[in-house]
């Protein structure tokens, strides 16, 4: 009887001690390359399979639609180079509204501020007005060629 009591006591003591051990934080997220995830969060994420882009000015009914391969490739190049700027922003009203159209009626809306020649330009997602994405001076020159020349 003493032997059973001793074994039972040791078993309960072991279970109690194991139960008091701190638990490890186990992440269920697989992250092969941590820098890739942070880099993706710094880019303007526009799927490359868009079918057209419509651009309009905030005041007025003029709308230009780009659906030719050359223009869409140029916009994809511009979007893929846009980099998220740190901090929250408070911007003036946008110069242009962009509607990126995908298959089956899906779309993504953006605001655009086109810089002067040799300056940076800025994009903002309409659903996140606290974050901006900028593109280089070369991309601004391409935006001027694509967008502003057609509105003048």
User: Model confidence over 31-77: pLDDT tens digits?
Assistant: 333 333 344 457 787 877 889 999 998 876 688 999 999 999 999 99
- Asked if residue 28 has pLDDT above 50, the reply is no
Range of the domain at 100: 44-151
Inter-residue contact 72 to 53 (CB < 8 Å): yes
35 part of a folded domain: no
CATH of the domain at 132: 2.60.40.4400
Is residue 6, in this structure, part of any structural domain at all? no
Question: Strand, helix or coil at 122?
Answer: strand
**pTM higher than the cut 0.75:** no
In a domain, 34, yes or no: no
User: Average pLDDT, stretch 104-131?
Assistant: 93
Instruction: Please check whether residue 30 lies inside any domain of the structure.
Output: no
Decide if 31 is inside a domain: no
- What whole-number distance in Å separates Cα of residue 45 and Cα of residue 127? 13
Among residues 84, 152, 149, 151, which one has the least CA distance to residue 123? Answer: 84
* pLDDT above 70 coverage of the chain, percent: 70
Q: Is residue 33, in this structure, part of any structural domain at all?
A: no
Q: Is residue 2 domain-resident?
A: no
In the sheet that holds 83-84, the strands lie side by side as 63-66, 52-56, 96-101, 107-113, 121-125, 133-135, 83-84
* Strand boundaries in 12-86, DSSP class E: 52-56, 63-66, 83-84
Asked if residue 11 is part of any domain, the answer here is no
Q: Could you give the number of structural domains in the chain? A: 1
Q: What is the pLDDT of residues 74-105, one digit of tens each?
A: 999 999 999 999 988 889 999 999 999 998 77
Average per-residue pLDDT for the chain: 79
With H, G, I as helix, E, B as strand and everything else as coil, classify residue 107. Answer: strand
């Amino acid at each position: 009887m003493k032997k059973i009591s001793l074994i039972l006591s040791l078993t309960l003591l072991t279970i109690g001690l194991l139960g008091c051990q701190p638990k490890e934080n186990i992440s269920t997220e697989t992250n092969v390359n941590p820098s890739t995830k942070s880099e993706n969060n710094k880019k303007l994420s526009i799927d490359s399979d868009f079918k057209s882009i419509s651009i309009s000015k905030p005041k007025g009914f003029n709308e230009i639609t780009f659906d030719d391969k050359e223009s869409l490739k140029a916009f994809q190049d511009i979007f893929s180079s846009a980099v998220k700027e740190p901090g929250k922003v408070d911007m003036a009203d946008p110069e242009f509204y962009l509607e990126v159209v995908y298959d089956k009626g899906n779309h993504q809306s953006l605001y655009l501020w086109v810089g002067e020649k040799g300056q940076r330009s800025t994009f903002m997602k309409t659903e996140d007005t606290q974050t901006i994405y900028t593109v280089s001076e070369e991309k601004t020159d391409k935006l001027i060629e694509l967008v502003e020349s057609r509105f003048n």
